[in-house]
């Protein structure tokens, strides 16, 4: 999947460079909508951003996002990733540095802080601790995930006209994830110290591992923007 996303970004960049021009625009404000977040995420949200040029090379702004079960339009609503009580909120301030301000397609690097809140209620599931020494099964429990971190991105502002376009970006950084289960009904805890088990892959088990985990973070976004 990551190779596919990287290939998609490179393809967009190649097409944009083929049509790049040196036109200058005097519109300083951007409103953005993340295209991928509502349809290609295990915690789908609608993320809207506002950005402003400080000068020809510096842009500052932030995205905020919100999602719940009623707003979900992708496969997660019918799978095992979210339930009826799903809610998610996110905020991500970002500062961008334009590498080629004279071009129509403007390439940039950026630093982005992010915070994600995710809550739900699950039934008839189980979770382990971060050391994988115990497993806990339950009939019903409240789930909460807090995730924050820092990404460094590379992207481009592709202008389709004087007002609209796309901003694809790819990046990497570090994330800290804190998962907690509470109000568990019929909790049954099993000690796994006597079993030969392997360490789980934490990046793909955010619904099943309780505790604080620090890991590498991969970021890929495609934003539609309106400039004014």
Q: What is the pLDDT of residues 49-92, one digit of tens each?
A: 999 999 999 999 999 999 999 888 866 656 678 999 999 999 99
The stretch 138-155 carries a mean pLDDT of: 97
Positive/negative CA dihedral, 25, 28, 31, 36: positive
What's the confidence (pLDDT) of residue 198? 52
pLDDT exceeds cutoff 80 at 23: no
In this predicted structure, what is the pLDDT of residue 66? Answer: 97
Report DSSP state, residue 69: G
- Total residue length of the chain: 228
Give the model's pLDDT for residue 203.
46
pTM of the model: 0.83
pLDDT in tens, 157-213: 999 998 999 999 999 999 999 999 999 999 999 888 755 555 555 445 789 999 999
Task: Point out the least confidently predicted range of 2-16, 56-70, 123-137.
Answer: 2-16
Q: Which domains does the chain have, with CATH numbers?
A: 2-227 (2.40.160)
Instruction: Write down the pLDDT at residue 223.
Output: 97
CA distances for 192 relative to 129, 132, 133, 180, 196, angstroms: 10, 7, 5, 20, 8
pLDDT of residue 132: 86
Query: Distance (Å, rounded) from C-alpha 219 to C-alpha 170?
Result: 6
d(CA 221, CA 49) in angstroms, rounded, equals 12
Mean pLDDT of 87-113: 96
């Amino acid at each position: 999947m990551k190779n596919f996303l990287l290939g998609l970004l490179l393809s967009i960049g190649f097409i944009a460079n083929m049509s790049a021009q040196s036109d200058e625009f005097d519109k300083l404000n951007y409103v953005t909508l993340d295209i991928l977040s509502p349809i290609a995420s295990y915690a789908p949200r609608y993320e809207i951003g506002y950005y402003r040029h400080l000068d020809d090379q510096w842009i500052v702004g932030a995205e905020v996002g919100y999602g719940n079960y009623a707003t979900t339009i992708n496969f997660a609503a019918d799978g095992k990733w979210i339930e009826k009580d799903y809610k998610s909120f996110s905020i991500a301030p970002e500062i961008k540095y334009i590498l080629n301000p004279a071009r129509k397609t403007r390439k940039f690097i950026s630093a982005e802080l992010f915070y994600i809140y995710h809550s739900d209620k699950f039934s008839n599931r189980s979770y382990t601790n971060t050391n994988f020494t115990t497993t806990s099964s339950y009939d019903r429990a409240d789930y909460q995930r807090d995730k924050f971190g820092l990404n460094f991105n590379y992207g481009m502002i592709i202008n389709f006209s004087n007002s609209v376009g796309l901003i694809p970006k790819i990046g990497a950084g570090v994330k800290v994830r804190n998962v907690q289960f509470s109000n568990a009904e019929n909790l049954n805890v099993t000690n796994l110290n006597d079993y030969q088990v392997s360490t789980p892959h934490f990046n793909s088990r955010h619904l099943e591992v309780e505790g604080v985990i620090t890991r590498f973070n991969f970021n890929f976004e495609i934003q539609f923007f309106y400039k004014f």
